[in-house]
Structure 1
Amino acid sequence: MWVEDWAPAAACRKTEPDQLFVRGAEQNKAKLVCSGCPVRTECLAEALDNQIEWGVWGGMTERERRALLRRRPGASWRSVLEAAKNAESKAAV
């Protein structure tokens, strides 16, 4: 199920924002915050659809998100990720 108002449920909501906007190896630590987040997919879709350039969003760095955007320019990432999330949920049943 897709969560429209995802930010209040985010694992990072109590994290200092500066911890998610780091460079280099520190990004791996920031990505750990996202690892068990219940709204990771929604967060990633937000970053991709709005082409947010900085920080770790949905467990992905700027570089990782740019690579996805290059592979599927013009994609509605919400649609892509929502379909994948729904398919995963159905497969788990």
Structure 2
Amino acid sequence: MAIAAVSTGDDARLMWVSQARCRGGNPDDLFVRGAAQRKAATICRHCPVQLECGADALDNRVEFGVWGGMTERQRRALLRQHPEVTSWAQFFEAQRRRHRADAV
């Protein structure tokens, strides 16, 4: 995992890195181009910190690689669709709560 791409120095926010499925793999597997990104994103499919990883990449405007199961294109689309979001972690948590409430 390319931790250097994360611009925060807050250790508490980086705790999720130690739980990431990709932590022991080859980081180059997540920094591929084009259609290979979709295949790379499957690494994230059952990751316990997928949302934290994706939120961190979006908050820090990480342009390259697969983060949180999202390709570069998917992250750019989310940023365009929701320019009002200042914290993607909070946004995802609100979405999760809304989804749970709808399921009840």
TM-score range, shorter chain: 0.7 to 0.9
Structure 2: which 5+ runs fail to align? 1-11
Residue 35 in structure 1 maps to residue 52 in structure 2: no
Structure 1: which 5+ runs fail to align? none
Identical positions, percent: 54
- Counterpart residue number, 1:14: 24
Larger RCO: Structure 1 or Structure 2 (Cα < 8 Å, ≥ 6 residues apart)? Answer: 1
Please, what TM-score do these two structures have when normalized by structure 1?
0.85
Following the alignment from structure 1 to structure 2, what is the Cα–Cα distance between the partners of residues 15 and 91?
37
Counterpart selection for 1:62 from 69, 72, 78: 72
Residue 23 in structure 1 maps to residue 33 in structure 2: yes
Q: Deviations over 1:7-51 (max 9, x none)?
A: 000011111000000012211221010000010000000001110
Following the alignment from structure 1 to structure 2, what is the Cα–Cα distance between the partners of residues 91 and 37?
24
With 62-71 and 83-92 compared, the bigger mean Cα shift is at 83-92
Please, what TM-score do these two structures have when normalized by structure 2?
0.77
Deviation at 1:82, TM superposition (A): 1.9
**How large is the RMSD of aligned CA atoms in angstroms?**
2.1
What is the total number of aligned residue pairs between the two structures? Answer: 91
